[in-house]
């Protein structure tokens, strides 16, 4: 009987360490959504500190689907702002899902010893690099955002996304090490 209970205990601990990709995607999407909201908040605060119109970045994203007319009127305009915010949060959630699956399922990164903070920082910088290289061709309107503000937003997004994922899906180093040994 001890062998059966030990076998069940190992099986349940393996399930806790290796969640299904759908569960990781769900938690990654939630973490990415929270990171995206923080990124938007930081963007508004930085725009205020620079003296810019706080709605320009989200209206510029909204102009992807609404066209250049979305940027004509200054200040808050519901359609372009909500369209841009929806695009931003959907992309943030999808990137969070990808981050969760890659870091937990494939790379098996632990959620302790500062790994979430470092991996989130690197993730945010990678997302910034891709956005910095591709966004000017898609949305030249976003060039009004200064590079330091854009970097700060993406680092905050990546770091918060990773820290929230570490709280939602804790994966201590001891369990990742045990799982690697079991897979070998």
Q: Based on the structure, what is the number of domains in the chain? A: 1
pLDDT digits (tens, 9 = 90+) for 72-131: 888 899 999 999 999 999 999 999 999 999 998 888 888 888 899 999 999 999 999 998
Structure tokens at 40: 């938007």
pLDDT digits (tens, 9 = 90+) for 123-155: 999 999 998 888 878 777 777 677 888 899 999
49 domain residue, yes or no: yes
15 domain residue, yes or no: no
pLDDT digits (tens, 9 = 90+) for 40-54: 999 889 888 888 888
pLDDT digits (tens, 9 = 90+) for 118-129: 999 999 999 999
**pLDDT in the model for residue 127:** 95
- The pTM for the full model equals 0.80
- What is the extent of the structural domain holding 98? 21-183
6 domain residue, yes or no: no
1 domain residue, yes or no: no
174 domain residue, yes or no: yes
47 domain residue, yes or no: yes
Residue 16 has pLDDT above 70, yes or no: no
5 domain residue, yes or no: no
Q: Which residues of 56-92 are buried (b: 16+ CB within 10 A; e: fewer)?
A: bbbbbbbbeebeeebbeeeeebeebbebbbebbbeeb
3 domain residue, yes or no: no
């Amino acid at each position: 009987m001890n062998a059966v209970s030990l076998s069940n205990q190992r099986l349940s601990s393996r399930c806790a360490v290796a969640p299904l990709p759908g569960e990781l995607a769900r938690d990654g999407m939630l973490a990415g959504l929270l990171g995206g909201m923080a990124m938007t908040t930081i963007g508004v605060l930085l725009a205020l500190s620079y003296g810019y119109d706080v709605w320009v970045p989200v209206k510029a994203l909204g102009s992807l689907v609404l066209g250049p007319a979305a940027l004509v009127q200054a200040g808050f305009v519901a359609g372009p702002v909500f369209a841009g915010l929806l695009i931003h949060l959907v992309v943030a959630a999808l990137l969070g899902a990808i981050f969760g699956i890659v870091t937990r399922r494939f790379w098996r990164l632990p959620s302790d010893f500062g790994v979430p903070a470092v991996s989130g920082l690197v993730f945010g910088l990678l997302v910034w690099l891709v956005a910095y290289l591709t966004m000017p061709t898609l949305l030249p309107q976003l060039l009004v955002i200064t590079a330091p503000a854009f970097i700060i937003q993406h680092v905050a997004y990546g770091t918060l996304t990773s820290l929230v994922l570490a709280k939602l899906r804790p994966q201590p180093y001891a369990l990742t090490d045990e799982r690697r040994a079991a897979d070998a």
